[in-house]
Homo-oligomer: A and B are copies of this chain.
Amino acid sequence: VSSRNIRIGLVGCGVVGTGVLDILHAHAGTIEKRLGARLVVEQIAVRNLNRKRAEIVPTELLTDDPLAVARNPNVDIVVEVMGGIEPAEQVLREALERGKHVVTANKALLAQRGREIFALARKYKRVVGFEASVCGAIPLIEGIARGLSGCDIKKVQGIVNGTTNYILYRMLEDRADFAKVLKDAQDKGLAERNPRFDIDGIDAMHKLCILTYICFGVWPDHKRVYAEGIRNISLADILYAEELGYRIKLLAIAHKENNILDLRVHPALVVLDHPLAEVDGAYNAAFLDTYPAGQLLFYGMGAGGVPTSSAVIADIINIGSGAGELPGGEEKALFKKSKDIKARYYLRCMAKDVPGVLAQITRIFSACNISIASVKQRERNKGQVVPVLMITHEVKEDNLRRAIGKIDKLPFIKGPSQVIRIEDL
């Protein structure tokens, strides 16, 4: 019995694309058995036809026109792993309009144009596979969209960017500062030469937009999602946090309460015995609070070409087996206003060690309605600048920022104070 062919058009042939070809080749037998169909690569679009490619890449299938793949009548599923907004968006659009299913690992594109792309897919009754766009190898999209479709999701807290998690981890392990660890990571190829997207939280914010769609059926305006990276996290803060029983992680958070969504990416202190505190190195994880399934953790390798390829293949197999569109559709939601944000905070003020410092600081907090849970003046060194560490009770962020503004103007305070949110779990 000869099985049918499912014809793949690959757009982009970098690490992920080559990984996809590798798996398709190595697992051809298993996949055909599972699927009752053969996955056949029909065409491959690359940026540069002359570049030397891995042996696995069949050069006779190459084109340098990505749209040719989207328009190729012999292609059933277009797999976009080229990245960037244009022409990736046009590739997906034209493929969907021609009745093809699409698979994409492109988180920036989905975060910015996801609403339109999914609307188009619904219109043409096609599937957008996007497992690879968030937390690489972790089957998080399937797990949430299908496995938890009977649940209300209340909160997601994710470590969704491997580069920043690796940097924070190495800073702690090696007692090294941010700049040194970043440079090492760049030298090892674990961080980009231009690391802005990762370290400023933009990549994590893109993934948060996609998670928000999966968990709450809402595409937020990515320009309005708060994203703060890890540039300002000092080794001192990491070590002080440990002493206080916390670990600093860059979290992507989506929290729904009374139908209001609170979305944000920022470094946060998480208690040491929480599963997210233990997510080391370049690993990713997502912690969910749901009803009635309770608390869940998904953990695995995030970025990286080869693990990500497995997510792309899973999408292709799913589509090939007729799995259909993930339960979705679009909901409406209100978003939390920053003035309504309440949280506990870690503060570090650098103050000259002179009498009366604490009294003046606490007076300002009190005037701004900030209630302090604990104060720790870690080192005594008369006349020198020493850190004053404080943990607040739950306070309004607005009030806190106002207080810090005043404190940083005090004559005995040196340099801007550090403010990091404590994320209760």
Q: Which residues of A contact B (CB under 8 A)?
A: 19, 23, 27, 30-31, 33-35, 131, 137-144, 146-152, 273, 275, 278, 285, 290, 292-301, 306-307, 309-314, 316-318, 321-325, 327-329, 331
Q: A321-B324, A321-B325, A322-B322 are in contact. Are A146 and B297 (CB under 8 A)?
A: no
Once the chains bind, are A146 and B318 in contact (CB under 8 Å)? yes
Taken together as a complex, chains A and B put the C-alpha atoms of A316 and B147 apart, in Å, by: 11
List the 7 closest pairs (A to B, CB-CB), nearest first. A139-B147, A150-B313, A137-B293, A296-B300, A297-B299, A142-B147, A294-B301
Copies of this chain assembled into the complex: 2
Q: A34-B328, A146-B314 are in contact. Are A294 and B309 (CB under 8 A)?
A: no
Quote the shortest CB–CB distance from A151 to chain B (angstroms).
5
Closest B residue by C-beta to A327:
B34
Contact of A35 among B139, B296, B321, B327 (CB under 8 A): B327
With a cutoff of 8 Å between Cβ atoms, the chain B residues found around residue A324 in the complex are 321-324
Quote the shortest CB–CB distance from A329 to chain B (angstroms).
6
Once the chains bind, are B299 and A293 in contact (CB under 8 Å)? no
With a cutoff of 8 Å between Cβ atoms, the chain B residues found around residue A138 in the complex are 147, 293, 296
Q: A142-B142, A143-B139 are in contact. Are A297 and B294 (CB under 8 A)?
A: no
Quote the shortest CB–CB distance from A20 to chain B (angstroms).
9
With a cutoff of 8 Å between Cβ atoms, the chain B residues found around residue A139 in the complex are 142-144, 146-148, 296
Taken together as a complex, chains A and B put the C-alpha atoms of A296 and B35 apart, in Å, by: 24
Once the chains bind, are A327 and B322 in contact (CB under 8 Å)? no
Residue of A19, A307, A309, A325 ringed by the most chain B CB atoms within 10 A: A307
Taken together as a complex, chains A and B put the C-alpha atoms of A273 and B138 apart, in Å, by: 21
Once the chains bind, are B297 and A297 in contact (CB under 8 Å)? yes
Once the chains bind, are A317 and B327 in contact (CB under 8 Å)? yes
With a cutoff of 8 Å between Cβ atoms, the chain B residues found around residue A311 in the complex are 147, 150, 293
Quote the shortest CB–CB distance from A1 to chain B (angstroms).
14
Listed by A's residue number, 20 A-B pairs whose Cβ atoms lie within 8 Å are A19-B292, A27-B150, A27-B152, A34-B327, A35-B327, A137-B293, A137-B294, A139-B144, A139-B148, A141-B147, A150-B309, A150-B310, A150-B313, A150-B314, A150-B317, A297-B298, A297-B299, A298-B298, A321-B325, A323-B323
